[in-house]
Amino acid sequence: MEPERTAREKREAAPRQYLMCRPTYFDVTYSINPWMDPNRPTSPQTGLAQWKGLSDTFAALGHDVRLIEPVPGLPDMVFAANGAIVVDGKALVARFRHAQRQGESAAYLEWFGRGGWSAVGQAEYVNEGEGDFLFTGREFLAGTGFRSDPRAHDEVAAFFGRPVISLTLVDPRFYHLDTALAVLGDGEVMYHPAAFSAASRAVLAERFPDAILAEEADAAVFGLNALSDGRNVVLPRQATGLAARLRERGYHPHGADLTELLKAGGSVKCCTLELRR
Ligand code: ARG
């Protein structure tokens, strides 16, 4: 058997700790991204059942799911990825671009303030947490163009003492980095080239020559809004093309149905903030 194949079959999962927020008050009452249409009805029951399916999937994969209490009047709070960046036991709480979400920061400051972290701060510049900052294990890939301020990239580098690679998003449907790129582990990523500026596409191609490049159809169902533990990749069930590509590379894809939350422009990764001690 070729050595590469053997390595791929040995992909190992590491148990993770995730922070999630039950979609108790989920709704689409305003529009801050092209997916959100306040005139289209939402179903709280379906949203809750789908979210529960996702948290059950994480638990079945052996991950530790922690919860932050949802706050009435903050319908997007289910998208916990945006609340902070947590690496090396340090937490940098988000500063949201839009007024409708700014109240979420206080809830995260309170949650992280309960202890267990070597440093807790709030970002000075607009910084939408893991929505725009993806940790590769060594450095951050950081998105800008729609939400996080480019100055937040320097702030993150200084706070965590880790390199930050800036990437510019250009398609409003993929307004956060985690809607256009996912870190799979071990220097591997998957992304949608058309979501990035030409300069950022060049950076990605140079840095990740073996990346899985998503087709438009998979990107359009938020297939890149995925979460990997190094072996298992949880991604929207509709992204069948990406699931096949992941299987070829020795990953184990797990489809999750989050169509109700996609009405707000979020899916698997948006619902999940990784807590790295
Ligand atoms: N409606 C939310 C917003 O526009 C969705 C956030 C999705 N989160 C993410 N990590 N991409 O802010």
User: Cβ(81) to ligand 1 under 6 A?
Assistant: yes
The torsion region of residue 58 among left (phi > 0), alpha (psi -120 to 50) and beta comes to alpha
Beta bridge partners of 67: 20
- pLDDT of 250 > 90? The answer is yes
Question: What does the pLDDT average to over 106-116?
Answer: 97
3-state SS, residue 231: coil
- pLDDT of 9 > 50? The answer is yes
User: Cβ(148) to ligand 1 under 6 A?
Assistant: no
ipTM over 0.85: yes
Question: What does the pLDDT average to over 238-266?
Answer: 98
d(CA 203, ligand 1 centre) in Å:
25
Q: Which residues contact 94 (CB under 8 A, 6 or more apart)?
A: 82, 83, 84, 85, 104, 105, 108, 122, 123, 127, 128, 129
Q: Any idea which residue has 């596409």 for tokens?
A: 201
Q: Please tell me the residue having the least CA distance from ligand 1 atom 9.
A: 270
pLDDT of residue 187: 87
Instruction: Tell me the domains of the chain and their CATH numbers.
Output: 13-274 (3.75.10.10)
Closest-lying ligand 1 atom to the alpha carbon of residue 79: 8
Closest-lying ligand 1 atom to the alpha carbon of residue 33: 4
At 63-75, the pLDDT tens digits run 999 999 999 999 9
Quick check: 40 and 14 in contact, CB under 8 A?
no
How would you class 255 by CB atoms within 10 Å of its CB: exposed for 0-12, middle for 13-18, buried for 19 or more?
A: middle
Closest-lying ligand 1 atom to the alpha carbon of residue 176: 11
User: Cβ(84) to ligand 1 under 6 A?
Assistant: no
Give percent helix, percent strand, percent coil of the chain, each to the nearest 5: 35, 20, 45
User: Cβ(270) to ligand 1 under 6 A?
Assistant: yes
User: Cβ(178) to ligand 1 under 6 A?
Assistant: yes
How would you class 231 by CB atoms within 10 Å of its CB: exposed for 0-12, middle for 13-18, buried for 19 or more?
A: middle
Chain Cα centroid distance, residue 30: 21
Q: What are phi and psi of 110, to 5 degrees?
A: -65, -45
